[in-house]
Structure 1
């Protein structure tokens, strides 16, 4: 089992959206590095930190589990979709997605500011300047350190 962090904008899709839906495809990834991780490395049973970004309260908001491995992102074939890519076809898909299911919300939001201050996370891409990836691996030590903070922070 591996650990991952998936970034999402909560105005579009949040941990609460996932909680209501129970499971969802993780579509719309349009970065090749993130796509490659999703396509080649993310497996059924892997756990995911759901990270709210581009919002007032940025941070880890919950946990999901991968329930379906990589398959073509059909939204890339649909001209009506925001994720349409005319160079992606069913015969030669360019973009992929996985399905995740809700596991739980964190006890409290774990803010980016708290994570940036943690020495255990100094090598995590999330806390480094200029990181724009929407999907990134999380080591076992990083996973444990982040979740250890959920009951210690007063930010929600």
Structure 2
């Protein structure tokens, strides 16, 4: 069964366009224990929203877990993890944080409750709702 996630990236550091150009990319640099636990729980073929943080504050695309958690090669020390993510498709309409906060059914999302978390789970119901907000109808596996 596919699980759903959201990852955040500052577009000036690594943008959706860079993800698309690279195709598959290691998702490195996560240094939060809560986010690390989420990376560890990701499975191959899970679907992930790509969210631009700081600038834009919006979901802009969908990526897929291509390789499950392994040691982050950018970590100087510790047991930090990364996963490989592959670009799947852009959202026809980006979904802003403001529009997410305006929907009562989405108020319990980690994106709203724990805004600093960089890797978070998304429920199947929230996934479908956000896909529809982004111009995709019933885009779920």
Task: Answer whether TM exceeds 0.5 for this pair.
Answer: yes
**Contact 2:71 2:82 survives alignment (8 Å):** yes
Would the aligned equivalents of 1:120 and 1:141 in 2 still touch at CA under 8 Å?
Answer: no
Does the 8 A contact of 2:5 with 2:121 survive in 1? yes
Q: What is the aligned partner in structure 1 of residue 48 from structure 2? A: 48
Structure 2 residue aligned with 1:27: 28
Max Rg structure: 1
Deviation >2 Å, runs of 4+? none
Q: Which runs of 5+ in 1 are unaligned?
A: 77-83, 89-93
Cα RMSD, aligned residues only: 1.3
- Size of the aligned set, in residue pairs, is 135
Report the Cα distance in structure 1 between the residues aligned to 2:121 and 2:15, rounded to whole angstroms: 20
Aligned partner of residue 44 in structure 2, secondary structure: coil
User: Which of 116, 120, 129 is the matching residue for 2:105?
Assistant: 120
Where structure 2 has 5 or more consecutive residues not aligned to the other structure, the ranges are 137-141
1:68/1:100 contact within 8 Å kept:
yes
Please give the alpha-carbon distance, in whole angstroms, between the structure 2 residues aligned to 1:12 and 1:145: 28
Match for residue 137 of structure 1 among 118, 121, 131? 121
